[in-house]
Structure 1
Amino acid sequence: MDNNKEVVVERDENGEEIKPLLISANTISVRAPFEWLAKGWADIRRAPLFSLTYGGVIHLSTLLVFWLVYQGGNTTMLFTIGMGALLVGPALAFGLYSISRQIELGLEPRPGYCFREASKHMRNELLFVLILLVILLIWARAASMVHIFFPLGDDIGIEGWMQFLAVGTAVGSFFAALVFVTSVFSLPLMLDRNTDAITSALTSINAVLNNKLPMLVWAALIGALLLAGVVTLGIGMIVVFPLLGHASWHAYRDTISQQA
């Protein structure tokens, strides 16, 4: 094999490099998600102040949402809000990706560095977040339809509750799966390579489809850890959210090909 083969770089009429629309994915093992969590925990130990402060903000936000819903008297909205949090979670963890990247580069983790990196990719980030928000709004409308067809009342009974939860879970799972496959690697990819939203989303989808079983394990771990964070009234989110954010960076590094 000729290792000195010249790499052909396509360029546009202005001489600028044409970036591929899809970045290839590596094949990963079923054990990989557990390794990502171990690496994420190591990053928390390297940057405990920033990581746990990040988690603390998420915890306070969770408590605020719970309080607002309770004050409004619509406790069933917690189910919808919980699914919505899953949709926007990847965008909220952008700073954690940056911290893991700084550690990987041998830098001292600094919050200011995160803000500078975020500002460099602001256009693509905002576009992607906008897409997530549109999906969230569609999901909220779908959740409202579930309430219409399965109205809750004092006489709903166990069977009514089971039907409501079954349909609500099915609808929410569809949107959660859609967001998972499109966003699990997208934002780390934008941060690392300054790719556009479409390339990032297509690359993420391709990587998930090429690693179905490991990514199913990863999705299950994310769901279980987030549930643990929620049932502790958000206290667990102080550790769970930064752990998942840092681990997601390592998931990206292992799964998406690092070849130029």
Structure 2
Amino acid sequence: MKFDLANKKAIVTGGGSGIGRAIAMALAGQGAEVHILEVNAKPAKETAAEIKATGGDAQAHACDVSNQKDVIKTVAGISADRPIDILINNAGIAHIGNVELTAEADIDRVYQVNIKGVYNCIYACIKNMKERGGVIINMASVAATVGISDRFAYSMTKGAVLTMTYSVAKDYLSYGIRCNSISPARVHTPFVDGYLKQNYPGMEKEMFERLSQTQPIGRMGRPEEIANLAVYLCSDEASFITGTDFPIDGGFIKLNG
């Protein structure tokens, strides 16, 4: 079977909803043993239960990725019987506003999850992976490479995720560790629905269509489409790929403007 992940142990941060949930389910569908990390265990448990209901192997873990001690303890428990093969750094938070509308507290909050959280998980897993190689996928964004209005803090953090990807890929080539990133454009997740409900009450349908049309392809992405790319990058079929960012954006970067 192509893209076979049997006997692979995977960690997916932020796997309780949206893109992370889709990735966790897709990895499990290819045979991986999936460990879902969420600061709130409830959504992680729900995803794990859904995976188990379809015959997959999944466990949920309450873990704050911004807390290094918590991450190290969680990873140590997961890897106690055998090493981790796959790390998906998907957990992230957003912030809306230009630099004038971004307070110091906003910068600190987004940094803690989007940058420090990725660092913490790589730091906790990398020694483990050095034993027999592995795959790291960092969730970046089109905001890492192109200007998006009112996304100052978010764009900054995703730029850091992109450069962390390149650095780790280069430093750990000799250990058989591949590190790549995925840069989605707008994807229809519960976050989008919540954003529209909060900011455009009564206009959700209209604004959803407007946001969809900002993608040249004419729609938002689906979480499952991002998950399919992640499965490929985690598989042996992608064994020649490292140190690369993969935009999955409906033409957003190259075709806008």
- TM-score, normalised with respect to structure 1: 0.28
Q: Using CA pairs below 8 Å that are at least 6 residues apart, which structure has the higher relative contact order? A: 1
Structure showing the higher helix proportion among its residues: 1
Determine which structure has more spread, i.e. the larger CA radius of gyration: 1
Structure showing the higher strand proportion among its residues: 2
